[in-house]
Homo-oligomer: A and B are copies of this chain.
């Protein structure tokens, strides 16, 4: 179910990415006329793998997961995207269809801009083109880096990674509410659900973290960082 949201004017939009800083007022107006802000309730699908890419997707608020559904119906999460991320990743250039499915894992607002408008601006405003490529490249580069970081570590290192990631890069707090289930954590960092639970319990017993359901508090960040560093 898509609810209507307060409509932001691009020019005044507080969620606007720095990648749009070199657009003129007229260009922002153009985007404004061809964009739509959509609200997605936690759990709602934003787009499905295989859908035709017609819009540039920008996450204003909330959190979404990017994932693929394997042939055995298991999901494999590629990335958790945060506000200001270009959540369609490189598909807008590399493909005519979305490579990943996207689902909101928290109530989220996604701004959809007609892809043709973005491509035309890239063609006509060279400085914007460079800015835009810089931003999208950074997002994609960080996806690659994360995949490698995770897969070169073993279980404890992966759990440490995900805890530090949520704490430092998403919630900026040592205390946070994990937005995904242990099963989804498992799908994100390539391990079994049982082992996710087990390692979390281990960290709890070692007083590295405190757990109350989905509420997690990092008690000993130094040790967590050490576990992450050692792999």
Question: Which residues of A pack against B, CB within 8 Å?
Answer: 68, 70, 76, 78, 89-95, 99, 119, 122-124, 126-127, 129-130, 133-134, 136-138, 140-141, 143-145, 147-148, 151-152, 190
Evaluate contact between B144 and A94: CB separation under 8 angstroms: no
What distance in Å separates the Cβ of A120 from its nearest Cβ neighbour in chain B? 8
**Which 8 A-B pairs rank lowest in CB-CB distance, beginning with the nearest?**
A123-B126, A94-B137, A90-B137, A93-B137, A93-B133, A94-B138, A94-B141, A151-B151
Tell me, in angstroms, the Cα distance from A122 to B140 when the chains sit together.
20
Given A137-B94, A141-B90 in contact, is the A70-B122 Cβ separation under 8 Å?
Answer: no
- Set of chain B residues within 8 Å of A130, measured between Cβ atoms: 93, 119, 122-123
Tell me, in angstroms, the Cα distance from A85 to B99 when the chains sit together.
20
- Set of chain B residues within 8 Å of A124, measured between Cβ atoms: 126
- Set of chain B residues within 8 Å of A122, measured between Cβ atoms: 126, 129-130, 133
- Set of chain B residues within 8 Å of A89, measured between Cβ atoms: 141
Tell me, in angstroms, the Cα distance from A92 to B137 when the chains sit together.
9
What distance in Å separates the Cβ of A67 from its nearest Cβ neighbour in chain B? 10
Nearest B residue to A71 by beta-carbon distance?
B229
Copies assembled: 2
Given A124-B126, A129-B123 in contact, is the A91-B151 Cβ separation under 8 Å?
Answer: no
Among B68, B76, B133, B141, point to the contact of A133 (Cβ < 8 A).
B133
Nearest B residue to A133 by beta-carbon distance?
B93
Listed A/B pairs (19) with beta-carbon separation below 8 Å: A90-B137, A92-B137, A93-B133, A94-B134, A94-B138, A94-B141, A95-B141, A122-B126, A123-B126, A123-B127, A123-B129, A126-B129, A140-B144, A143-B144, A144-B144, A144-B147, A147-B148, A147-B151, A151-B190
What distance in Å separates the Cβ of A100 from its nearest Cβ neighbour in chain B? 10
- Set of chain B residues within 8 Å of A123, measured between Cβ atoms: 126-127, 129-130
Tell me, in angstroms, the Cα distance from A151 to B190 when the chains sit together.
8
- Set of chain B residues within 8 Å of A76, measured between Cβ atoms: 148, 152
